[in-house]
């Protein structure tokens, strides 16, 4: 059995209903850290579209969208993604993630990030992963630090989150960081 209690798997069409349920359960909890989304985002059709777009992006090599599942029950408890994959001399992706509020504080986000870093560097042959976090999101800051990411700076008014342009701390990890 997986010691972390979770596993990652690329999202498939049959995950649309569990993803919708997950997002609906966590809508209020996640809102302070996400863009404002209309009610249409919280529909089965939109989840099907998002998953279909993720599958197409993976086939094109531009993004990889995974579900975070409990090993014991196969329950979908989160999502983690590598997006804006750039090849050539950069070999970079941006990473974003969330875990169901009911499962916070159990190390699942840290385990998912560590597993995604392994996938990115070993399977996808990327060199660098970037992540950005609002300074008030202490839990996410700890996840990145535990996973070996280094803070690289502060981006002022970086993303429009919950209707406001929010500052974000910028983090990154490179393949060499795992070797040192």
Residues 145-174: tens digit of each pLDDT: 999 999 999 999 999 999 999 999 999 999
Position 162 scores a pLDDT of: 94
State how many domains the chain has.
1
pLDDT in tens, 26-60: 999 999 999 999 999 999 999 999 999 999 999 99
Q: What is the 3-state secondary structure (H, E, C) of 131-148?
A: EEECCCCHHHHHHHHHCC
Question: CA-to-CA distance for 53 and 150, rounded, in angstroms?
Answer: 31
Q: What is the CATH number of the domain that holds 65?
A: 3.40.630.30
> Which pTM does this prediction carry?
0.95
- Within a domain: residue 22? yes
The pLDDT score that the predictor gives to residue 92 is: 98
104 pLDDT above the threshold of 90: yes
Quote the percentage of the chain above a pLDDT of 70.
98
Q: Is the pLDDT of residue 77 over 80?
A: yes
Task: Please check the confidence at residue 1 and state whether its pLDDT lies above 70.
Answer: no
Q: Is residue 152 part of a domain?
A: no
Please choose, from the candidates 115, 176, 113, the residue with its C-alpha nearest in 3D space to the C-alpha of residue 141: 113
Query: Is the pLDDT score of 2 beyond 80?
Result: no
The answer to whether position 131 is within a domain reads: no
Q: pLDDT-based confidence at 3, cuts 50/70/90?
A: confident
Q: Tell me the C-alpha distance between 73 and 106, whole Å.
A: 16
Domain that holds residue 18: 6-126
Q: Is residue 155 part of a domain?
A: no
Answer whether residue 1 is part of any domain.
Answer: no
Indicate whether 13 belongs to any domain.
yes
Residue 145 resides in a domain: no
Q: Give the pLDDT of residue 180.
A: 66
Place of tokens 């001399």: 89
Residues in contact with 60: Cβ distance below 8 Å, sequence separation at least 6, in sequence order: none
166 in any annotated domain: no
- Mean pLDDT across the stretch 103-130? 97
């Amino acid at each position: 059995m997986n010691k972390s209690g979770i596993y990652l798997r690329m999202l498939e069409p049959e995950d649309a209903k569990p993803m919708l349920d997950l997002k609906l359960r966590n809508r209020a909890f996640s809102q302070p850290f996400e863009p404002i989304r209309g009610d249409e985002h919280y529909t089965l059709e939109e989840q099907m579209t998002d998953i279909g777009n993720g599958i197409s992006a993976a086939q094109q090599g531009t993004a990889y969208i995974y579900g975070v599942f409990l090993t014991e029950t196969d329950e979908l408890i989160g999502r983690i993604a590598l997006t804006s994959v750039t090849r050539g001399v950069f070999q970079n992706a941006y990473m974003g993630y969330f875990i169901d509020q009911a499962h916070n504080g159990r190390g699942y986000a840290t385990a998912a990030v560590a597993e995604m870093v392994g996938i990115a560097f070993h399977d996808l042959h990327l060199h660098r992963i970037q992540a950005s976090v609002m300074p008030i999101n202490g839990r996410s800051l700890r996840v990145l630090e535990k996973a070996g990411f280094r803070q690289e700076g502060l981006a002022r008014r970086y993303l429009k989150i919950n209707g406001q342009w929010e500052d974000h701390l910028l983090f990154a990890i490179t393949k060499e960081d795992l070797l040192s």
